[in-house]
Amino acid sequence: MKRREFITLLGGATTWPLAARAQQPTRMRRIGVLMGIANDSEGQSRNAAFLQGLKELGWTDGSNVTIELRWVAGDSGRMQDYAAELVGLAPDVIMVGTTAASAALRRETRSIPIVFAQVTDPVGFGLVSSLARPGGNITGFTSFEYAIGGKWLQILKEIEPKVDRTAVIYNPDDPASVGYLQAIEAAAPTLGVRPTLAGIRDAIEIEPVIKAFAKTPNGSLLVVPALLVAVHRERIISAADQYGLPAVYPYPFFAASGGLISYGVETTDLYRRAASYVDRILKGEKPAELPVQQPNKYELVINMKTAKALGLTVPPSLLTRADEVIE
């Protein structure tokens, strides 16, 4: 063998293991996802937005990451079980939606990073130390400030000036409800509206509560955000329409489902943004150092078909402010 050929062969034998090691695939990462809403059109839209956000950042389910997805559909008992199940899988990070689901996960772990997508008051509920510096294993994106309750009531009065009563539909078991109720009650006297608190813990209670309230004229509905009302939104919307009650809802998907008017955050955007924090955590950043982010846009959506069915004339002041008008 010639000396040059021997050196080439020797060099190849030396560098081959290094090249082989460099080409070895990276470890498959694992992401847990706890969806509080049902596996319906809205739930699928939120999940799709999250997955698309991940894909844009280079993470694809089944390729370099495994997604462990659990749907709760508003069942509080199942929520805690699924939270424990996801933590038991020891994922690299968990993405979660609501306050209740985030609290369920916090009861299970103080070490696995958690990113929430729509919590109202993370400081007040003890999920983070502050918005600027969360300080623990949880961070994410908020959906509302409690003061928006007064804005919902104002919009209700604007779309139907004759309204002097409103049934406030909320879930008494949702810890975030108290702050909204206080804001609504504080704004009510100025607007000349008397709120009636209508707590609902089960879907079967929805129609009887709304029917009983509608027996007195000049009534209306104001729906406070909660997992239960999101899961059973079609029942609430149907009852409001059946008994002729103008209603204001907290999310655009309520108006898209036939509700009269909504004012709130586009939830799919929150889940898309949550993917950015999951990406940063997978790349080594700590949730304790990622500030909680607040919404940067609220959308006003009016369903004109429902307005006409209720015999309402939507004032130009609302129409000009609407981000979307559903004909």
pLDDT greater than 60 at residue 260 = yes
* Number of structural domains the chain divides into: 2
DSSP string, 140-183: EEE---TTHHHHHHHHHHHH-TT--EEEEEE-TT-TTHHHHHHH
Q: Which domain holds residue 162?
A: 148-264+299-326
Q: Please check whether residues 85 and 211 belong to one and the same domain.
A: no
Paired tokens of 43: 């739930």
CATH number, position 51:
3.40.50.2300
Backbone φ and ψ for 284, nearest 5 degrees, come out as: 115, -10
Task: Check: CB of residue 299 under 8 Å from CB of residue 265.
Answer: yes
Q: What does R_g of the chain's alpha carbons equal in angstroms?
A: 25
pLDDT (0 to 100) of residue 74: 73
Q: Please check whether residues 174 and 55 belong to one and the same domain.
A: no
Q: Please check whether residues 209 and 316 belong to one and the same domain.
A: yes
Q: Please check whether residues 175 and 244 belong to one and the same domain.
A: yes
Query: Which residues, including other chains, have CB under 8 Å from residue 100's CB and lie 6 or more apart?
Result: 36, 76, 79, 174, 175, 227
Distance separating alpha carbons of residues 189 and 222, to the nearest angstrom:
16
Q: Tell me the one-letter amino acid at 69.
A: L
pLDDT greater than 80 at residue 93 = yes
Degrees, nearest 5: CA angle 34-35-40: 150
Flag whether the pTM goes above 0.85: yes
Task: Check: CB of residue 154 under 8 Å from CB of residue 188.
Answer: no
Q: Per 3-state DSSP, what percentage of the chain is helix, strand, and coil (rounded to 5)?
A: 45, 20, 35
Q: Please check whether residues 97 and 165 belong to one and the same domain.
A: no
Domain annotation covers residue 11: no
Characterize the bridge pairing of strands 324-326 and 299-303: parallel
Domain annotation covers residue 229: yes
User: Which band of pLDDT confidence, cut at 50, 70 and 90, is reported for residue 25?
Assistant: low
* pLDDT (tens digit per residue) in 265-324: 989 999 999 999 999 999 999 999 999 999 888 999 999 999 999 999 999 999 999 999
Q: Please check whether residues 316 and 212 belong to one and the same domain.
A: yes
Backbone φ and ψ for 47, nearest 5 degrees, come out as: -65, -40
* pLDDT (tens digit per residue) in 177-212: 999 999 999 999 999 999 999 999 999 999 999 999
